[in-house]
Amino acid sequence: MKSVCVITGGSSGMGFAAAKLLGENQNVMIAGRDTAKLKKAVSELERSGIKAEGFAINVGDRKTVDALAERAIQLGRITSVIHCAGMSPHMGEAREIMETNALGTINMNEAFFRVMESGSCIIDVSSTAAHLAPKIFLPTNLYKYSRIDKDLFMKKMMARVNLFPKNVRPGVAYTISKNFVNWYAKTDTAKFAEKGIRILSVSPGNFDTPMGQLEHKEADKFQRYCALKRLGHAEEIAHLFAFLVSDKLGFLTGADIICDGGLVASGLDPVKVAFGN
């Protein structure tokens, strides 16, 4: 049976770089919102000799995520899922960001848990923002509602976001949602292990991607504190993804991998950085 790698956010940036790399040895299915971008990305992959298929999806909509999972198993055995799809503070309003990043991760993990088999691996892509926020800022005690009632979970998340001034709510929603991604992947570890599936989260720093370019002002500030003093390249994190999902790392699960050029390790105060102090 053919092996399949599913990549959300696969039409550009990290996801597309991962598709090019992993597509060398297996079929790839890239998913995203923009059908034109998907078509262009599939064409480019196919010109490189990669067997690829695009699938239009809104990860915040469970029906489309279930449809993606059903289509993926029709193509072959799903060996890996790399969930790159997400929204940054410059890409939408606070609720849309929370729905995409937090609810989208819940939808992906639940849908693909049903169809993945032993020996496979899923990566939920987070952000260094998840590690930089002060703990008092994060409603971690409310994350448990994601496993009880998703509507209630969203209400509680947005109630916390809405405590902040309107102009900073997209950034607050982004930070909370990405911290939630790390929590959700970690707390899914035992469940996935029952089926022999590994699950990891990856927290990228500032990368030279289309999404990263939207955040260039903020990235420039944080780059001064990065040990390597530069942006990451999409190909670099694609190699990390490929290594993590390979069977060479069969004992690695339930972990978060920070790939940020040494930003988190610098011990910076993100609040001071944000306000230029």
Mean pLDDT of 233-251: 97
For the chain, how many structural domains are there in total? 1
pLDDT-based confidence at 214, cuts 50/70/90? low
Q: 251: Cβ–Cβ under 8 A, 6 or more apart, which residues?
A: none
Q: 204: Cβ–Cβ under 8 A, 6 or more apart, which residues?
A: 14, 125, 126, 127, 128, 232, 237, 259, 260
Of 29-38, 118-127, 166-175, 205-214, where does mean pLDDT reach its minimum? Answer: 205-214
3-class state of residue 196 by DSSP? coil
8 Å CB contact between 168 and 222: no
Mean pLDDT of 142-148: 98
Nearest to 91 by CA among 194, 179, 170: 170
Whether the per-residue pLDDT at 135 is higher than 90: the answer is no
Extract the tokens encoding 89.
Answer: 């503070």
Domain that holds residue 210: 3-274
Label residue 58 exposed, middle or buried (CB < 10 Å: 0-12, 13-18, 19+).
Answer: middle
User: Is this model's pTM higher than 0.85 or not?
Assistant: yes
Extract the tokens encoding 131.
Answer: 């590690």
The larger pLDDT score, comparing residue 210 to residue 80, is at 80
Helix axes 169-187, 104-115, angle to 10 degrees: 20
**pLDDT, position 1:** 72
CA angle 270, 267, 128 (to 5 degrees): 60
Mean pLDDT of 222-226: 82
Q: List, for residues 46-94, the tens digit of each pLDDT value.
A: 999 999 999 999 999 999 999 999 999 999 999 999 999 999 998 999 9
Q: What is the CATH number of the domain that holds 257?
A: 3.40.50.720
Half-sphere exposure of residue 74: CA atoms within 13 angstroms, side-chain side: 7
- Mapping DSSP onto H, E and C, the string for 182-224 reads HHHHHHCHHHHHCCCCEEEEEEECCECCHHHHHCHHHHHHHHC
Whether the per-residue pLDDT at 15 is higher than 90: the answer is yes
Residue type, 142: L
